[in-house]
């Protein structure tokens, strides 16, 4: 008796080298992506090693996640592709100029957030300055990081670093906070984190005009948001 062939998804695969969140690229590699055949009926976690091997990706296998290039959604590795049909909607359509979408192998959100927080706690001087300066862009590039950052007590880390920092560092932290507060998850995180609000209030007494101005702006955003909800 003949058995029915398992459903498959043949698509382009690429990797993003984001092993160092402060020094990662936004350009998936290779530029000419290979094709990989995914089984739709078995969990993605069992197929990850094959993708990793094909791409020779720099990540540790245990740290890997799979992201859809067309909508930025992270696939659930414990589930099958068949169970995630909604996320895949529009994936096989051309993205214009005949360009096909890819499944991108990259570092899990929690691993990247942990690396961010560790760097902020353990850096000093120029290295800390560079890290704080990059933070806003990191959140801008991947909105899903904001939720993970809040969950991992990243706000506590920012406030601790900010309390001991000079006005330049504080400005970078305020910029990053402003980016966090653009997202619902981020704003809710701030609402539930009294230390952040208290820190913003203390900065109003700063002798540096830009710090005062930015702190006031963020407090205003916070007050307007909480009043409207």
pLDDT at residue 142 is higher than 60: yes
Instruction: Domain ranges for the chain, please list them.
Output: 8-107, 110-228
Binned at pLDDT 50, 70 and 90, residue 97 comes out as low
State the pLDDT at residue 196.
96
Q: What is the mean pLDDT of residues 95-112?
A: 86
Binned at pLDDT 50, 70 and 90, residue 218 comes out as very high
More confident residue, 94 or 105: 105
Q: What is the mean pLDDT of residues 37-57?
A: 97
Q: What is the mean pLDDT of residues 64-75?
A: 95
State the pLDDT at residue 86.
93
pLDDT at residue 2 is higher than 70: no
pLDDT digits (tens, 9 = 90+) for 118-137: 999 999 999 999 999 999 99
Overall fold of domain 8-107: Ubiquitin-like (UB roll) (3.10.20)
Transcribe the chain into DSSP letters: -PPPPPPEEEEEEEE---SSGGG--SS-B-SSPPEEEEESSS-GGGTHHHHHHHHT-SS-GGGEEEEETTT-PBP-TTS-SGGGTTTTTTTTS--STTPPPEEEEEE-HHHHHHHHHHHHHH--HHHHHHHHHHHHHHHHH-THHHHHHHHTTHHHHHHHHHHTS-HHHHHHHHHHHHHHTTSHHHHHHHHT-HHHHHHHHHHTT-S-HHHHHHHHHHHHHHHHHHHH-
State the pLDDT at residue 167.
92
Q: What is the mean pLDDT of residues 215-226?
A: 93
State the pLDDT at residue 96.
60
More confident residue, 228 or 78: 78
Overall fold of domain 110-228: 1.25.10
State the pLDDT at residue 227.
78
pLDDT at residue 192 is higher than 90: yes
Q: What is the mean pLDDT of residues 183-191?
A: 94
């Amino acid at each position: 008796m003949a058995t029915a062939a398992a459903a498959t998804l043949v698509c382009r695969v690429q990797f993003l080298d984001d092993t160092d969140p402060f020094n990662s690229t936004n350009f998936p590699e290779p530029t000419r992506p290979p094709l990989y055949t995914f089984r739709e009926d078995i969990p993605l976690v069992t197929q990850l090693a094959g993708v990793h091997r094909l791409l020779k990706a720099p990540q540790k296998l245990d740290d890997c996640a799979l992201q859809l290039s067309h909508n930025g959604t992270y696939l659930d590795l414990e589930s099958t592709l068949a169970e995630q049909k909604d996320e895949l909607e529009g994936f096989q359509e051309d993205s214009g100029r005949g360009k096909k979408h890819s499944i991108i192998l990259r570092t899990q959100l929690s691993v990247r957030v942990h690396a961010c927080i560790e760097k902020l706690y353990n850096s000093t001087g120029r290295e800390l300055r560079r890290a704080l300066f990059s933070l806003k862009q990191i959140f801008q590039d991947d909105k899903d990081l904001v939720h993970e950052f809040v969950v991992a007590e990243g706000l506590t880390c920012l406030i601790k670093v900010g309390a001991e920092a000079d006005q330049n560092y504080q400005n970078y932290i305020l910029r990053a906070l402003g980016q966090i507060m653009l997202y619902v998850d981020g704003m809710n995180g701030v609402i539930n984190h009294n230390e952040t609000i208290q820190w913003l209030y203390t900065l109003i007494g700063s002798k540096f005009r830009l710090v005062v101005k930015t702190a006031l702006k963020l407090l205003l955003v916070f007050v307007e948001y909480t009043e409207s909800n």
